Amino acid sequence: MRLFFLICVWCCFSIRAAAEDRLTSHQAVYDITLASTAGGAAGVVNAKGKMSYKIQKVCNQWQTESVFSLDIGYELSGLDTTNWKQTTRESADGCLFDFEVFVREKGKDRKDLAGRAVCKNDTKELVLSFPVRSSAVFPKNVVFPVQQTLRLLQAARQGKKSVAAYVYDGTRPESLYSVNAVISEPDSFRPRKVKGDADLIANQKIWRFDMAFFEEFATGNLPDGSPLYEVSLYYYDNGISNEIVQDFKDYRLLSTLTELHRLPDLPCPQKTKGSL
């Protein structure tokens, strides 16, 4: 299985730039546990894992790495283990999205998916380079994961109560989602103690986002119109997230922030004399 850690078009670049300035380069580590289960003979009985998410601004791009290891126990079929990694590179203007997905097998990472999306005229063109070459054309209002985070936070700061967007996250060839997010300010939120650079979240404003994901390319959505899955999480004003609940209908997983490390923003490489 694959878990998705992430999540209207803003046309003003100055607003996007202001929001981007608040996004903090960091690495976060989460403990994954079973929040609840519907039970039953084929149901989930336990879950335990770790997730690491790294985002770093390098020149005018955001580079991310998401790694998770998860053991899920089923009543009848026993233990299912997943080890998965995704790396991405996303430009600040939203016109470049490179991604690679790896599955760990026998101690080695095996490439599972790779591709790139770029702006082309009034569209965004996706080209998959692995495992087979294929392409698709998206409307220009499709956004990528970091863009989506920026837009969610900007909407929260503006006092908006909901946001709708089309998001392509590069986790699967067909991973284009219609995402509806409801924004609220929590009455109380008491995160547990975090190791490392906990000052990154001290005195930061926080919002709760409840998001529903509807699959656009496949028939995974339920016949009654309910979403493929739902995610609730807390975002701090600087883009760091905490207490992520992923609802897969039959069971729910909770990812809790346990470690936090500050990363430096890296400048653009200097051109050497004589370089073009």
pLDDT at 221 over 90: no
Mean pLDDT of 82-94: 94
User: What is the 3 state secondary structure string of the chain?
Assistant: CCCCCCCCCCCCHHHHHHHHHCCCCEEEEEEEEEEEECCCCCCEEEEEEEEEEEEEEECCEEEEEEEEEEEEEECCCEEEEEEEEEEEEEECCCCEEEEEEEEEECCEEEEEEEEEEEEECCEEEEEEEECCCEEEEEECCEECHHHHHHHHHHHHHCCCCEEEEEEECCCCCCCEEEEEEEEECCCCCCCCCCEECHHHCCCCCEEEEEEEEEECCCCCCCCCCCCCEEEEEEEECCCCEEEEEEECCCEEEEEEEEEEEECCCECCCCCCCCCC
Q: Are 242 and 156 in contact (CB under 8 A)?
A: no
Dist CA 246 CA 85 (whole Å): 18
4: pLDDT strictly greater than 70:
no
Q: Which residues pair with 241 in a beta bridge?
A: 235
| Model pLDDT, residue 231 | 97
Q: How far apart are CA 125 and CA 41, in angstroms?
A: 44
Mean pLDDT lowest for which of 82-91, 142-151, 211-220? 211-220
Token code pair at residue 43: 């149901």
Reported confidence tier of residue 15, pLDDT bands at 50, 70, 90: very low
Domain ranges of the chain: 24-261
Percent of the chain scored above 70 by pLDDT? 87
Q: pLDDT tier at 156 (50, 70, 90 boundaries)?
A: very high
- Per residue in 109-134, pLDDT (tens digit) is 999 999 999 999 999 999 999 999 99
In the chain, what percentage of residues exceed pLDDT 90? 72
Q: Decide if pLDDT at 42 tops 80.
A: no
Cα 12-16-17 angle, rounded to 5 deg: 115
Q: Can you tell me the mean pLDDT for 24-42?
A: 92
Q: Is the pLDDT of residue 188 over 60?
A: yes
- For residues 162 and 269, which has the higher predicted lDDT (pLDDT)? 162
pLDDT in tens, 49-69: 999 999 999 998 999 999 999
